[in-house]
């Protein structure tokens, strides 16, 4: 199971591509996010771009910006948000009110991080929409992925043990205690859906509204919720 089965690394993030080889298992990319950001921060002439941006905000702004944050061209920031240390945000991306980017995050171009969303140790490629009140922890989202309101990518087992990938009757150890979801290009996750730790979803697949899913889903598949409505007369 290779990362290239789920996504192509976008040209806009090419400077980081050395750390994310397509022939590797996708979950092995997660520990490299911080390494890639640190390398970018310290690499030759590029370090003049990767710096603290606190000075861009007035003292009356409620935005809290950590050190070593890079903003691409035309990035939109609200008056109220929090961005931790070691974060890269690509050109044209919009961060909306109340968003929390905790750190060690790479976000590609033309993405949307919506109100009340939380991002932590994750890689989001181009044109990703994390719409409203989402949690994305220790996850990788391919280009054009869409998370509808309230969708959660959970990243930690209750017993806090190592997370294994369950695919084709096989249990693949990852060596990771925290692992959210690996979402291929153009995956759509419906409102209030929950993906269990270590979920892998192939390109162009859909997890429908309110569904709870864990394991591996191949490309171009749909997971539907079986919720049924019972209609009765009022007494």
Percent above pLDDT 90 for the chain: 72
Phi-psi region of 219 (alpha: psi -120 to 50; beta: other; left: phi over 0): beta
Task: Please give the helix or strand (H or E) that residue 33 lies within, else none.
Answer: helix 32-42
126 backbone dihedrals φ, ψ, rounded to 5°: -80, 150
DSSP letter (8 states) at residue 169: T
**What mean pLDDT comes out for the span 84-100?**
94
The residue that leads in pLDDT, 216 or 67, is 216
Percent above pLDDT 70 for the chain: 89
- What pLDDT score does 226 carry? 73
- Written as six digits, the tokens of 62 are 């409620």
Start-to-end CA span in the chain (Å): 56
Domains observed in the chain: 3-222 (2.160.10.10)
- What pLDDT score does 63 carry? 67
CA count, 13 A, side-chain hemisphere, 60: 0
- How far is 121 from 101, CA to CA, in rounded Å? 9
pTM value is 0.91
- How far is 136 from 158, CA to CA, in rounded Å? 17
- How far is 210 from 185, CA to CA, in rounded Å? 21
- What pLDDT score does 223 carry? 94
- Written as six digits, the tokens of 171 are 């249990």
Other CB atoms within a 10 A radius of the CB of residue 231 amount to 4
**Residue 153: is its pLDDT beyond 90?**
yes
CA separation (Å) from 194 to 54, 142, 149, 201, 234? Answer: 35, 18, 11, 13, 33
Under the banding of pLDDT at 50, 70 and 90, the label for residue 43 is low
Distance of alpha carbon 77 from its chain centroid, rounded?
18
- How far is 13 from 106, CA to CA, in rounded Å? 9
Under the banding of pLDDT at 50, 70 and 90, the label for residue 56 is low
Beta bridge partners of 31: none
């Amino acid at each position: 199971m290779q990362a290239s089965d789920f996504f192509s690394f976008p040209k806009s993030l090419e400077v980081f591509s050395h750390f994310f080889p397509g022939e590797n298992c996708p979950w092995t990319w997660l520990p490299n996010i911080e390494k890639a950001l640190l390398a970018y921060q310290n690499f030759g002439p590029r370090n003049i771009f990767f710096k603290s941006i606190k000075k861009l905000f007035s003292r009356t702004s409620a935005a809290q910006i950590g050190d070593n944050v890079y903003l691409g061209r035309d990035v939109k920031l609200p008056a109220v948000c929090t961005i931790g240390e070691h974060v890269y945000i690509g050109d044209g991306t919009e961060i909306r009110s109340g968003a929390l980017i905790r750190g060690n995050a790479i976000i590609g171009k033309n993405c949307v991080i919506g109100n009340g969303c939380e991002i932590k140790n994750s890689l989001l490629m181009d044109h990703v929409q994390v719409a409203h009140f989402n949690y994305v922890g220790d996850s990788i989202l391919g280009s054009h992925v869409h998370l509808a309101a309230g969708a959660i990518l959970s990243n930690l087992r209750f017993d806090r043990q190592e997370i294994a990938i369950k695919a084709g009757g096989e249990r693949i150890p990852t060596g990771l205690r925290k692992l959210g979801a690996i979402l291929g290009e153009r995956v759509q996750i419906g409102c209030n859906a929950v993906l269990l730790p270590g979920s892998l979803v192939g390109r162009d697949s859909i997890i429908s509204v309110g569904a709870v899913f864990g394991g591996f889903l191949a490309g171009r598949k749909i997971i539907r919720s079986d919720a049924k409505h019972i209609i009765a007369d009022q007494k």
